Amino acid sequence: MSRIAMNPYLLRLLLTSALLWLAAPAAIAADTATAAAEPPLRSVAEIVGGRCALCHGANGESASAIYPRLAAQHPEYLAKQLRDFRDGRRKSDTMSDMARDLRDEEITALAAFFSSKPAAARQRGDQELAAVGRYLFTKGNRWSGVPACTSCHGADGHGTAELPRLAGQHPAYIETQLKDFNERQRNNDNAIMHSIAAKLTEMEVNALSIYIGSLQ
């Protein structure tokens, strides 16, 4: 009996196809099981009510000066901060715990929710310090090498998608963040803030914080 010679390449191709065909049902079953194991996405109302509202308020208007106001903040910036907290790039015992199980879709939805809320009106504190803060914010301090805040955050302090909105933020929170930048405790954002914060005096930090808090 004669034998039909088969091209070795064709033989390998047929064997590979057969193995893939046999493995396909198992792969599909594994993907299905993985999808079924993932919990459903939580609603914004559920996450805000169960986590965010306690510190930041139901609409992002935190009553305590130690927590930042989130209302009207850029959604891209908020989403980045939440991902950084979740993934360990920004350190905070509280926020790392709150964000640890947030999925990307939930983070995007939360950021869109808080950014859509209007910022409430603010009142200016010490008028004389606010005037110093305004000078620093708009002109900087050429003697110490501090640039004007407007060069990055805009004339109105509304920032960009990459840089935060500062207008109307709690002065005490601004002070804390500038201190953290100066002491290299906050490293997930623009490194230029390290050198800027290091050049500010305590009085300048206080003056800037008061002025920024009064912006709308």
Residue-by-residue pLDDT tens, the chain, 216 positions: 444 455 666 666 556 665 556 555 555 555 545 445 688 999 999 999 999 999 999 999 998 999 999 999 999 999 999 999 999 999 999 999 999 999 999 999 999 999 999 998 777 789 999 999 999 999 999 999 999 999 999 999 999 999 999 999 999 999 999 999 999 999 888 789 999 999 999 999 999 999 999 999
Residues 122 and 168: beta-carbon distance below 8 Å: yes
The CATH superfamily label for domain 44-115 reads: Cytochrome c-like domain (1.10.760.10)
Q: Which residues are annotated as a binding site?
A: 52, 55-56, 95, 149, 152-153, 193
- CATH topology match: 44-115 vs 127-214: yes
pLDDT the model gives residue 146: 98
Q: Which residues are annotated as a binding site for heme c?
A: 52, 55-56, 95, 149, 152-153, 193
- Domain formed by 127-214, architecture: Orthogonal Bundle (1.10)
Bridge partners of 141, per DSSP, are 146
Pairwise CA distance, residues 68 & 166, whole Å: 10
Going from N- to C-terminal start, the domains of the chain cover 44-115, 127-214
CA 197 to chain CA mean position, Å: 20
